[in-house]
């Protein structure tokens, strides 16, 4: 019997996290360290509330706090400050010397849109000359140009001026790189590779702590607080990864489902990206386990099962009837049982919050996912290349994001009400945009590897065939689709639709996970050795605070 097998590399980390979870940071000093953290926190809070009055300084401090990954400690103060700056932007910004305020205005625009406020992009018309082009005088203000560049990524469809901003800033930042100081050059290089709005929060925090520590005018109090907070959270992540490694070891997918990717550690990036804060530990455990089980499910459809087997398997998922898989290979029974066990565990883990009944919303999302996987397997079996529209209608579900994002809400506790689950079960525009971005970014990263074996045509092949274009042209079309999906994500995040911002932020953050794991045409999740350094910096190596003072 011919099977569509793949040859995935083995785990990079194995069982290492079983022994990593006992780091030195809190050893015998837990109370003392947490007290020091609280003292630092209160001093930073005083600085934020009373120590900074000038709007540009306030914006800069908020931005620094956010980028250092500690804004969750000061949500009330930040919201109050941004509300005030939204209602009353400084009148000096309307003066004749507006060019001097490029940095502050760009920062104001980005921070407000990140917070969910819609502010008009017309504010940037101030920086154009009489001919309607951006003033050449701006080019010398590298800090301002960098802030303007970052602001452009908060755009929505139809905001042509932000497209012009991006073209203008990218060209001039690149052309002036060699003449910059090493500190500025490093920051600009990083921004051009990964703008703030697309960055995975914890990855960007670890990078920014390192960069900010080199700044001459840094706030040492804030920096120490961020470093200590990072290290304390890291130990929480180590405990979770230890638990997850133990759980995965007991599942024994390595021997029982040998065709699947062993990626329990790498899969942790999904929940960590969605919500890194301490209170979401339960959600990270649930989503991590789901990612591991869905990886096995994906590989079962993609790299093991025959169409006849998969039809029976899909029907079993449709009915949640384990008896229906009795005639299937043992490895497929193991995957099916793992799904059932995880659903039961979700109910137990959410019982305390009184939301265990909402696990019922996860089940149809998983059924939709299985159906989309089956359709792709049938296309592969028939060597059928669908139209691009047909492929994407299915791809919104086969990317897995409607199922993953629905499940992630279980980690939000009482914030995730029945109304919120009803909303997400209808695959609203923000979830659809996130899914489109996921499907296309994944395809651009993995299609060449997948086409080396028996595999369904990706979005690239569908696009090339339907529009009769080259692979290069297909890439351009799909990259534009991804750009539009990001704009839709931005727009939906700013819409006052009654959905809690923390829910919308989860969806937005899952998009950032895909950008991190599959962006720049590289599938780092499958090729896990490419993530080794990032995993070490986030989950293994604490920041040596005393060396940075």
Q: Could you give all domains of the chain from N- to C-terminal order, each with its CATH number?
A: 41-225 (1.50.10.130), 252-543 (1.10.600.10)
3 state SS for 394-407: HHHHHCCHHHHHHH
CA proximity to 404, closest of 300, 314, 321, 511: 511
Which pLDDT value is given to residue 9? 81
Phi, psi (rounded to 5 degrees) for 150: -65, -35
CA proximity to 487, closest of 495, 499, 476: 495
3-state secondary structure of 455: coil
3-state secondary structure of 443: helix
Q: What is the DSSP letter of 412?
A: G
Phi, psi (rounded to 5 degrees) for 275: -155, 110
Name residue, tokens 């001039």: 172
Which pLDDT value is given to residue 549? 43
Ranges of residues in the chain whose predicted pLDDT is under 50: 547-549
Q: What does pLDDT average to over the chain?
A: 94
340: left (phi over 0), alpha (psi -120 to 50) or beta: alpha
Can you list the alpha helix ranges (DSSP code H) found in 252-280? 253-256, 269-274
Give the tokens for residue 180. 């910059």
CA distance 203 to 199: 7
Give the tokens for residue 243. 């638990």
**How many CB atoms sit inside 10 A of residue 133's CB?**
11
Which pLDDT value is given to residue 497? 86
CA distance 68 to 112: 18
CA distance 109 to 124: 9
Residue 533, burial from CB neighbour count under 10 angstroms (0-12, 13-18, 19+) = exposed
Q: What is the DSSP letter of 120?
A: -
CB 225 within 8 A of CB 41: yes
Partners of 134 in the β-ladder: 128
CB 141 within 8 A of CB 127: no
């Amino acid at each position: 019997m011919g099977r569509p097998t793949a040859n995935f590399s083995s785990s990079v980390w194995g069982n290492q996290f079983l022994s990593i979870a006992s780091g030195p940071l809190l050893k015998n000093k837990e109370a003392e360290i947490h007290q020091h953290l609280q003292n630092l926190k209160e001093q930073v809070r005083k600085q934020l509330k009373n120590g900074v009055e000038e709007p540009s300084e306030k914006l800069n401090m908020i931005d620094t706090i956010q980028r250092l990954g500690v804004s969750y400690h000061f949500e009330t103060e930040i919201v109050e400050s941004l509300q005030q700056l939204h209602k009353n932007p400084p009148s000096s910004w309307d003066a004749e010397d507006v060019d001097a305020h490029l940095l502050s205005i760009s920062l104001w625009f980005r921070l407000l849109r990140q917070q969910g406020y819609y502010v008009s992009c017309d504010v940037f018309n101030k920086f154009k000359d009489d001919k309607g082009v951006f003033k050449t005088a701006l080019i010398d203000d590298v800090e301002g140009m960098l802030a303007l560049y970052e602001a452009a990524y908060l755009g929505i469809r139809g905001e042509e001026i932000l497209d012009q901003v991006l073209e203008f800033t990218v060209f001039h930042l690149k052309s002036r790189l060699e003449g910059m100081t090493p500190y500025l050059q490093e920051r600009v290089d990083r921004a051009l590779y990964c703008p703030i709005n697309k960055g995975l929060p914890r990855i960007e925090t670890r990078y920014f702590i390192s960069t900010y520590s080199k700044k001459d005018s840094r706030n040492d109090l804030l920096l120490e607080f961020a470093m200590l907070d990072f290290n304390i959270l890291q130990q929480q992540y180590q405990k979770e990864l230890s638990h997850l490694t133990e759980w995965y070891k007991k599942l024994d997918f390595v021997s029982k489902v040998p065709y699947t990717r062993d990626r329990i550690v790498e899969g942790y990036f999904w929940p960590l990206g969605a919500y890194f804060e301490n209170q979401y530990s339960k959600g990270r455990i649930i989503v991590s386990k789901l990612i591991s089980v869905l990886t096995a499910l994906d590989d079962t459809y993609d790299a093991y099962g025959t169409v006849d087997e998969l039809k029976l398997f899909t029907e079993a998922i449709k009915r949640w009837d384990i008896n229906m898989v009795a005639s299937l290979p043992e490895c497929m029974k193991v995957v099916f049982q793992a799904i059932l066990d995880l659903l039961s565990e979700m109910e137990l883990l959410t019982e305390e919050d009184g939301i265990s009944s909402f696990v019922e919303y996860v089940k149809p999302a998983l059924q939709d996912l299985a159906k989309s996987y089956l359709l792709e397997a049938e296309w592969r079996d028939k060597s059928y290349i669908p139209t691009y529209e047909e492929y994407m209608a299915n791809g919104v579900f086969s990317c897995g994001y409607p199922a993953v994002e629905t499940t992630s809400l279980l980690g939000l506790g009482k914030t995730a009400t029945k109304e919120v689950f009803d909303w997400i079960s209808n695959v609203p525009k923000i979830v659809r945009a996130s899914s489109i971005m996921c499907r296309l970014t994944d395809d651009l990263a993995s299609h060449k590897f997948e086409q080396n074996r028996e595999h369904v045509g990706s979005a690239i092949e569908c696009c090339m065939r339907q529009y009769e274009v080259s692979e290069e042209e297909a890439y351009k079309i799909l990259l534009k689709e991804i750009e539009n999906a990001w704009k839709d994500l931005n727009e939906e995040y700013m819409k006052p639709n009654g959905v809690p911002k923390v829910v919308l932020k989860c969806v937005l953050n899952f998009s950032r996970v895909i950008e991190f794991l599959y962006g720049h045409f590289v599938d780092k999740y499958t090729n896990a050795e490419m993530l080794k350094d990032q995993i070490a910096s986030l989950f293994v190596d604490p920041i040596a605070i005393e060396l940075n003072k």
